[in-house]
Amino acid sequence: MNRAIVVGSGISGLRFSLFLAEHRSVLLLTKKEAVESNTNYAQGGVAVVLGEDDSLDLHIQDTMKTGGGIADPEAVRTVVTEGPARVKELIELGAQFEFDSNGKLVMGREGGHCRKRVVHCADKTGREIERILLNAVEKHPNITVMQYHFAVDLIMREGRVAGVLVLDPEGKLIRMSANLVCLSTGGLGRVFRYTTNPEIATGDGVAIGYRAGAVVRDMEFIQFHPTALARPGASSFLISEAVRGEGGYLTTISGERFMKKYDPEMLDLAPRDVVARAISIELKRTGDPHVLLNVSQLGSEFLRRRFPTIYSTCLLHGVEIDKEPIPVVPAAHYSCGGLKTDLFARTTVPGLYSIGETASHGLHGANRLASNSLLEALVFAYRGAQSAREEPDIKVFEDEVVGDINSKPPCGMTDLYSERLNLIMSQNVGVFRNIDVLQKTAFELTAIRNGIQRLVDAFSSRRELLELSNIALCAELIVRSALKRKESRGLHFLEGYPQVGLEFPGTNTELINKVPRPMIWK
């Protein structure tokens, strides 16, 4: 029985590994600790139709509306319809979601949802899901987990994936054979200076897949979470949308409830793109450094029980949320685009699968509906594993060490490129965009990428340099995709172009690298 290699230990990689391990051996690679992933930081929960007053059609309508006219209807129906069974499997594995005194799941509401349908474990749902999946993975005899192993590139043979080139903790390059590979490395938020993503979110999976010839889709749609904590050193901490779902509301520093100007129907529970733009406009209008999220009216006891992580983290940064409002600003949060897949998680490269934020399954369209991401990961992990069972057992080489990395780039050069890239992406490719500025940004990104590549060529493949190379490639894909979309839709707001939505069905942007980078091991 030949093995599969799964890259990434978030909900996507773990769940796919567990499903697939019933039929073949799995090697799960993660570049840091297995527990470190975007999943672990997910506060809100899983959006799923399990409530008595809810329906699959309502969830589908909310997802399609938020997706701005380009969400794939088949993908939406697939995820929403199959989601309840996948969530029930988590409960059977031991996930401690919140139940009321009658034994019914407690459902929360978030932006864009017309019903309460978000199952949660206080404000640490991602951590709870990660816990139970890791526990199951560690006990499974067919799964081997290798921590601190960085996937550099895919190995190709006769037009299909044959393995992964891996950098181990000692600096050795190892060719690892596989009959299929699944890229589930999470997001790319570190492209931007201010992001809710952890340091590991460097877009590795998107970059690796693209270099191997995979098509990427909808990279321009970067979701900015409206409410990241606005305190020095805390920009990566988001204040869950569930806070507004429980009755929190936004105001300017002067006390004006401004959301009624931007979405009088949904108000503070409007979709994320609407709220993020509204906050950005208000900050520009007032000159204030942040807006305020008011929650003290919910009561100290409720806040400590429902949002213990938010309560304690804010307190560490000097904000007593039961006594004062929380200062918040938008920050890069989620990429709706990624490696294009079908409804069985297969990319356009034979033998290559992708799940989660690394992938673009068609669910989110131009804007992700809150808490749909964990549901998406669960559904496509199952569907991908069913398809992967049929992959042929082809082993063309033995694992072997093929290189040793010892050299280091000049002191300061990596940081210099990183800081410049983060700055221009945050300033020029944020909530609001401009064609002329995007064109200048694309030109500068090409120069930055060339400089980074010279460092890679001269000083070998240090992990921090490889991550920066991946970040730079993802940045260029975002900008190139944004330049192709001559309209304002969902998360892509282009100055001088009117906002369109469901009444103007659109198309997806797709990019493919005709000449894969020569780093791919031959």
Contact 105, 97 (CB under 8 A): yes
Other C-beta atoms closer than 10 Å to the C-beta of 109 total 20
Q: How many CB atoms lie within 10 A of CB 463?
A: 16
C-beta of residue 238 within 8 angstroms of C-beta of residue 225:
yes
**DSSP assignment of 144-202:** EEEET-EEEEEEEETTEEEEEEEE-TTSEEEEEE-SEEEE-----GGGSSSBSS-TT-S
Rounded to an integer, what distance in angstroms lies between the CA atom of residue 246 and that of residue 303? Answer: 10
Bridge partners of residue 250, in order along the sequence: 293
Q: Is 272 a catalytic residue?
A: yes
E-assigned strand segments in 203-278: 216-217, 222-229, 249-251
Selected catalytic residue, list 272, 368, 383, 449: 272
Three-class SS of 49-90: CCCCCCCHHHHHHHHHHHCCCCCCHHHHHHHHHHHHHHHHHH
Q: Which amino acid is at 399?
A: D
Angstrom distance (rounded) from CA 83 to CA 105: 15
Angle at 426 between CA 425 and CA 428, to 5 degrees: 65
The answer to whether the Cα torsion of 189, 182, 48, 502 is positive or negative is positive
The length of the chain is: 522
d(CA 461, CA 468): 11
Phi, psi angle pair for 298, to nearest 5° = -80, -15
| Amino acid in position 414 | T
Q: Can you tell me the distance from the alpha carbon of 372 to that of 377, in angstroms, rounded to the nearest whole number?
A: 9
* Rg, the chain, Cα only: 22
Alpha-carbon span 88 to 451, nearest angstrom: 49
From CA 303, how far away is CA 247, in angstroms rounded? 11
Q: What distance in Å separates the CA atoms of residue 244 and residue 110, rounded to the nearest whole number?
A: 7
Question: Cβ(150)–Cβ(31) under 8 Å?
Answer: yes
Chain centroid to CA 282: 27
- Cβ proximity of 236 and 228 under 8 Å: yes
Please list the active-site residues: 272
